A and B are shown apart, each in its own frame.
Chain A
Amino acid sequence: MNTTWSRFNIASLVFGFAFLYLPIVLLVVFSFNESRLVTVWAGFSTKWYVSLFRNQSFIDAAWVTIRVGLVSATVATILGTLGALAMTRYTRFRGRLLFSAMIYAPLVMPEVITGLSMLLLFVAIGFDRGLWTMILAHITFSMCFVAVVVQSRLVTFDRSLEEAAMDLGATPVTTFFRVTLPVILPAVVSGWMLAFTLSLDDLVISSFTSGPGATTLPMRIYSQVRLGVTPEINAACTILIAIVAVGVIIASIANKRREVQKARDEQAAARN
């Protein structure tokens, strides 16, 4: 495609990105505000961060959130990768249509429905609501996102590599771990990160499925927001944004490095 950067294109990008980023930037800026008012600047201060770290209920909620995120993202990545393999490698099996519907539907399903239905399941089978019911719920919705991410990598995968490995006597399981997995690993890793952030962010499904004693950071922030906007919430939001931003930056640097390495390897191979 020929590239012309007309004024219109540049203007729409500038406005678009300003719209996307300005609210987040303002939120971060006002977390360092001296004044209790979130909208009037009164000088730089980190006192809201100090008071946040002294707030035990926030610390507890942060721990719950991280635990739920780590466990659910890991299990969701395994299940989602299996789901993606099932979708791409087995084009015919009984109930495939239903399977693909169950993979795609949670992506757009309103959270209130997913949350309510999961809760009613836990009540029906007599599962006490708490940390574990929340983890099960998070696994279920995030595994579908992982499946879609991994699937998009698997469809472009060169299957002759696997066939070569199996012709040379590798079992399918060995082939998967030594040939397929290394190739799709970047997609699996970004699937894990997506699952982790989805779990970190979720409010609605967590509110339905968690029980007493298992309050996550979004639930905590939400109940505070309903009482009013305070710089302390801005500080908590800034910390969450910082965690995610650092993770994304590390991942993209690692990706870039791997690409550079790959290009170098290919050049070396071509020279030989």
Chain B
Amino acid sequence: MQKLISSVAGRLVIAVPYLWLLIFFLIPFVIVFKISLSEVAMAIPPYTPAFNLSAGWQAFADNFSQLSWDNYIWLLEDPLYYKAYISSVIIAGVSTILTLIVGYPIAYGMARAPATVRPTLLMLVILPFWTSFLIRVYAWIGILKPEGLLNQFLMWAHVIDTPLNILNTNTAVFIGIVYSYLPFLVLPIYSALEKMDYSLVEAAEDLGCPPILAFWKITFRLSMPGVIAGCFLVFIPAVGEFVIPDLLGGSQTLMIGKTLWNEFFSNRDWPVSSAVAVILLLLLVVPIVLFQRAEARAQESEK
């Protein structure tokens, strides 16, 4: 009897979250794919069904030959879309490198701090992450505006005479991404650096290795797992970012998350926005799989 309870409980532990994710995470992607193959219609919901599973497999097979790839052809032919994809990847890539340049010294400084101060520093890095993403992006509007605080400060300090135009440019988008995603990059690098045995660097320096070279060959190498995890955590969501390009970027800032949002909410074209999502997902599948593998490997090594 007890064995029975235990095996039922064990199955439930797996089955409940498994089914939940299947229904609410995986199946929706199938539906997105399905709707990306249908045509836009003036109706509610605004698309004509591409195929109907309730009609049985024969109908499904009949329908298959009539599926419309028009939305994808449309995406390939209209330069707006592929330019948006390319520019999203470039903006996300540049921002990831900038975040690394800003974040690595912070993680390094934290890891080299006295052990008594480290928990406080860690808490200070995590704290902004708990405050709303939207609020943190909004805060930068007041700073970067032409009559904003940054320009006021720079003009007061006589660094510039005329206000800089930063808001509504790609520069503002870079600042926004670096700022919002910084904790995601600092934390994995910090945890890699904290575990590191610093005597290795000392040994190298004792043997005459210049500090910069010792840093590059030992410290940076050993922090690589953290760097990789951090870069994925910044790059992947940044490619599909919507809030930052929408609030900080300008009309010339092309990002695919914004394109998808506009197709959906402004043009009410569900099939095209689904096709945009499918291609974005295909673009991100490789980095997502690499990230997931790196995470699983890190979990295994903890055991």
Contacts and interface: CB of A to CB of B under 8 A. Distances in A.
Interface stretch (A18-26, A47-55, A261-269): A18-26
Contacts of A105: 25, 288, 292
Contact of B135 (A95, A124, A237): A237
Interface string A207-246: 1100000000010011001000100011001001100110
Contacts of B141: 225, 229
Nearest to B235: A108
A270 interface: no
A13 B136 contact: no
B277 A27 contact: no
Contacts of A260: none
Interface string B191-202: 000101111001
A230 to B, nearest CB: 10
Interface in A1-32: 1-6, 8-10, 12-13, 16-17, 19-21, 23-24, 26-27, 30
B242 A112 contact: yes
Interface stretch (B63-71, B75-83, B124-132): B124-132
A232 to B, nearest CB: 12
Q: DSSP majority for the A interface?
A: helix
B246 to A, nearest CB: 8
B17 interface: yes
Nearest to A103: B21
Nearest to B27: A121
Given A27-B139, A111-B240, A1 B18 contact: no
Interface string A195-210: 0010011011001100
A19 B186 CA distance: 13
A235 B280 CA distance: 37
A23 B277 contact: no
Interface in A93-109: 93, 95, 98-109
Given A39-B149, A79-B17, A86-B18, A112 B32 contact: no
Contacts of B260: 112-113, 116
Contact count band on B: 35 or more
Given A39-B145, A113-B280, A2 B239 contact: no
Contacts of A244: 130-132
Nearest to B135: A237
Nearest to B23: A121
A120 interface: yes
Given A23-B143, A39-B147, A79-B16, A110 B182 contact: no
Contact of A80 (B17, B121, B148, B233): B17
B277 A112 contact: yes
Contacts of A79: 16-17, 20
Interface in A30-83: 30, 38-39, 79-80, 82-83
Nearest to B44: A123
Given A110-B240, A155-B302, A171-B5, A2 B198 contact: yes
A208 to B, nearest CB: 8
A179 to B, nearest CB: 15
A20 to B, nearest CB: 5
Nearest to B118: A3
B237 interface: yes
Contacts of B45: 123
Contacts of B27: 121
Given A9-B112, A108-B233, A116-B274, A143 B17 contact: yes
A120 B277 CA distance: 12
A225 B143 contact: no
Given A1-B197, A103-B21, A110-B280, A116 B273 contact: yes
In the A-B complex, the 6 residue pairs with the smallest Cβ-Cβ separation, listed nearest first, are A110-B240, A117-B28, A12-B105, A16-B106, A83-B17, A23-B139
9 contacts: A1-B197, A2-B202, A27-B135, A123-B45, A136-B24, A137-B24, A204-B242, A222-B134, A234-B142
